[in-house]
Chain A
Amino acid sequence: MSTPDAPVSLRRRLALRGLDGTTLLIAPALLFLLAVFVYPFLYGLWLSFAPKAGPWFSNYAAFFSDPFQYNTIWTTLALALPVTVISLLVAIPVAFRVRLMRRQRLLTTILVLPITLGTVLIAQGLLNYLGPQGWFSRTLMFLHLTGGPVRLTHNYWGVFASILITGFPFTFLLTLSYVTGIDPALEQAGATLGASAWQRFRHIFLPLLVPGLAISFLLSFVQSFAVFPSAVLVGAPAGPTRVISIAAYQAAFEKYDYSMASAIAMIMAAVQLVVVVLVLAGRNMFYRGSTSGGKG
């Protein structure tokens, strides 16, 4: 270090590559995640191939040969996909309307409520509200839309409503942030060039939004696919709404078969991964980049 010709110290060389004392500040958070997030996941993967009995793949074999188990995938998809698609289809026009509002805050605050309150409280509320004696059913009867009380809890529709109530605001706020991220001057430019409202949406907004909408879809889908408390509380966890997370939970905490539980968790992750990869592959076919019209 004392003479100019001395070989560059290791410390200097590391610093040149961006590794110095400051970089080490990452270490605590990184080590924590490696220990409590990555390691358990890898351990779970390994554990899923170390069944209580039988060859290494017998957990997976057991899962895919038992309709009571493998049907949970379809049950979960049957809840998550419609809710996600409906949320997204409704969120887009609403976001386009809300973007014009000067005071969006009240609406966005109301919509943040269900996300913040969480699924357990929503489930409890829905048990009262959607139950046969709840306000919803009473209103339908009052309007003579149905003859008798409607049962919307402890079945598919209860869980559907519960995911929709927490899922829609999430999808909407995400979509809104993408929609408002598009430079309004682009729409004005389109209008002065003769594009009608529909043409502006079709040729300008939609191509710019597709990547964002794909992300909105994925995040909402993945959250919906992992539905758990509401499937137990407002659903019929023994049958129509026995979603995959219930199967995993039962294996772990009712049968104490951690190996099987890990296998189911891995299957759950794999299904999510498949959908993610499919959507991202489709997304790559579109323009992805800045959504502003130039400088400034």
Chain B
Amino acid sequence: MPPPTSSLRTILSRDKVSFIVHSASSPFQQIRLDRVSRAFGSFNALREVSLDIGRGEFIALLGPSGCGKSTALNCIAGLLAITGGAISLDDRRIDELKPEDRGFGMVFQNYALFPHMKVRDNVGFGLKMRGVPRADADRRIDAALELVRLGNQGDKLPGQLSGGQQQRVAIARAIVIEPALVLMDEPLSNLDAKLRLEMRAEIRRIHNQLGATTIYVTHDQDEALSLADRVVVMRDGQIRQVGRPEELYDSPASLDVAEFMGFRNRIAGTVTAIDNGRATIAVGDARLVGRAGAGLGPGDAAMLVARPDDLALAAAGLGATVESVEYRGREFVGLARTGDDSELVFHSDTRLDTGATVTLAPDPARALVFRAAS
């Protein structure tokens, strides 16, 4: 994905604008996390996390709460000291710098707007700290407010704005300083569902327009997949997988990433054959086929995982009893229970009766087979 080239500066090109370039906001090619660790007492919130981020990239850190994604973000911002490893911008170590000397922009989960300052002064705070002359600052504030579509709200206090508007102010405040890196910590988690979709599009639009390198923390895979150029899946303080959204969606590399990506159905069995990247597993009398994960051989205990969308009625497959059926518009989604008491969620084009016996099989091209966790 080529980094977009326009910036706040070019938006303002009609004005002669002089910027005081902060040490860290100079252009850079790469930000590198090298075996970054963070321990809280005996608890390791981050364990040797390594990641390279290119200029202009939009990276999402995705994972369940407590996986270390926010810790990673705070370490990059300088709000938390790291206990091991290094963070560097090109070849310059920045992990010893105070947060105020890093020159990054950050959008906080609860916005963290200064309640006693007008919207304009909130947005202009970073410029004021950098000693940007008043006239320049005013122009840049106007441009930033225009960009987040809050042109006429500058003289209000944050408390007078709606949640979505507050979030826009927080974004304007972070980007007006033209940071080398924009950090976003679950910025949409306090908004209701409809506003969340709107702001998601808004964040993408602003990113496309400015091209600022962005690290975005979220626990919502939809958000991560729709926004990011690359998604980093984290768990237990470690990176489990890094990849483009479609890679992660189609081919999670491990069982727990797959589960997190919505592969809800788990069927345990034994590998009987591997052929052309497809693994066949035996579950009782049934034979099911899916794409084989790494290091799988015949005879291994395995786990087949599939999304509800990829599990359907079939001529041959696993027998189960329907427990409930919901109508979802185009299709029906059913819950069935197998003989060994595991639950399966599947889709069906026709209505089924509760208590009916069905035969279910996964789509071999989409289901995945992993070695069972020992």
Could you list which residues of chain A lie within 8 angstroms of chain B, going by C-beta atoms? 183, 185-186, 188-196, 199, 203-204, 207-208, 286-287, 289-296
Contacts of B77 in A (CB 8 A): 188, 192
Report how far A229 CA is from B320 CA in the complex, Å: 84
> Is B348 an interface position by the 8 A CB rule?
no
Residues 302-361 (chain B) with a chain A CB within 8 angstroms: none
Place the interface of chain B in its size category. Answer: 35 or more
Q: What are 28 A-to-B residue pairs whose CB atoms are below 8 Å?
A: A185-B109, A188-B79, A189-B106, A189-B114, A191-B98, A192-B78, A192-B104, A192-B105, A193-B100, A193-B105, A193-B173, A194-B22, A194-B101, A194-B126, A195-B100, A195-B129, A196-B98, A204-B114, A208-B115, A208-B116, A289-B115, A289-B116, A290-B159, A291-B115, A292-B110, A295-B110, A296-B110, A296-B190
Residues 73-132 (chain B) with a chain A CB within 8 angstroms: 77-79, 98-106, 108-116, 125-126, 128-130
Number of A-B contacts (CB under 8 A): 109
> Is B177 an interface position by the 8 A CB rule?
yes
Q: B105–A293 contact, CB under 8 A?
A: no
Q: Mark B146-168, 1 if CB is under 8 A from A, else 0.
A: 00000000000111000100100
Q: Mark B211-238, 1 if CB is under 8 A from A, else 0.
A: 0000000000000000000000000000
Partner of B129, one of A199, A208, A295: A199
Contacts of B157 in A (CB 8 A): 287, 289
Q: B116–A196 contact, CB under 8 A?
A: no
> Taking each of B22, B103, B104, B113, which has the highest tally of chain A beta carbons within 10 Å of its own beta carbon?
B113
B348 to chain A, nearest CB (A): 40
Q: B112–A193 contact, CB under 8 A?
A: no
B215 to chain A, nearest CB (A): 13
With contacts A189-B106, A292-B110 known, what are 18 further pairs, Cβ within 8 A? A183-B110, A185-B109, A186-B112, A189-B113, A192-B100, A192-B105, A193-B100, A194-B130, A195-B129, A203-B125, A208-B116, A287-B157, A289-B116, A289-B159, A290-B115, A293-B114, A293-B158, A294-B111
**Chain A residue nearest to B74 in the complex (CB):** A188
Q: A294–B177 contact, CB under 8 A?
A: no
> Is B183 an interface position by the 8 A CB rule?
yes
Q: A293–B115 contact, CB under 8 A?
A: yes
**Chain B residue nearest to A287 in the complex (CB):** B116
Contacts of A196 in B (CB 8 A): 98, 100, 129
Q: A185–B110 contact, CB under 8 A?
A: yes
Contacts of A183 in B (CB 8 A): 110, 112
Given A204-B114, A292-B115, A295-B166, A192–B79 Cβ distance below 8 Å? yes
A226 to chain B, nearest CB (A): 33
A170 to chain B, nearest CB (A): 26
Q: B125–A295 contact, CB under 8 A?
A: no
Q: A189–B129 contact, CB under 8 A?
A: no
Contacts of A189 in B (CB 8 A): 106, 108, 112-114, 173
**Chain B residue nearest to A199 in the complex (CB):** B129
Partner of B79, one of A191, A199, A293: A191
Report how far A287 CA is from B78 CA in the complex, Å: 29
Given A290-B159, A294-B166, A295-B163, A191–B100 Cβ distance below 8 Å? yes
Report how far A286 CA is from B105 CA in the complex, Å: 28
Contacts of B22 in A (CB 8 A): 194
Q: A293–B112 contact, CB under 8 A?
A: yes
Contacts of B183 in A (CB 8 A): 192
Report how far A296 CA is from B100 CA in the complex, Å: 25
Q: A190–B78 contact, CB under 8 A?
A: no
Report how far A295 CA is from B167 CA in the complex, Å: 10
Contacts of A286 in B (CB 8 A): 116
B258 to chain A, nearest CB (A): 31
Contacts of B126 in A (CB 8 A): 193-194
Q: B190–A294 contact, CB under 8 A?
A: yes
A213 to chain B, nearest CB (A): 14
Q: B129–A294 contact, CB under 8 A?
A: no
Given A194-B129, A208-B116, A289-B159, A294–B100 Cβ distance below 8 Å? no
Contacts of B174 in A (CB 8 A): 192
Report how far A203 CA is from B117 CA in the complex, Å: 9
> Taking each of B22, B116, B129, which has the highest tally of chain A beta carbons within 10 Å of its own beta carbon?
B116
Partner of B110, one of A190, A204, A289, A293: A293
Q: B106–A192 contact, CB under 8 A?
A: yes
B94 to chain A, nearest CB (A): 13
Contacts of B98 in A (CB 8 A): 191, 196
Partner of B106, one of A188, A203, A204: A188
Report how far A204 CA is from B100 CA in the complex, Å: 14
Contacts of B105 in A (CB 8 A): 192-193
Report how far A291 CA is from B173 CA in the complex, Å: 18
Partner of B99, one of A188, A199, A203, A287: A188
A188 to chain B, nearest CB (A): 5
A290 to chain B, nearest CB (A): 5
Contacts of A192 in B (CB 8 A): 77-79, 99-100, 102, 104-106, 174, 183
Contacts of B100 in A (CB 8 A): 190-196
A282 to chain B, nearest CB (A): 16
Contacts of A292 in B (CB 8 A): 110, 115
Given A191-B98, A291-B115, A293-B115, A185–B129 Cβ distance below 8 Å? no
**Chain B residue nearest to A206 in the complex (CB):** B116
Report how far A204 CA is from B130 CA in the complex, Å: 16
Report how far A191 CA is from B97 CA in the complex, Å: 11
Given A189-B106, A194-B130, A294–B113 Cβ distance below 8 Å? yes
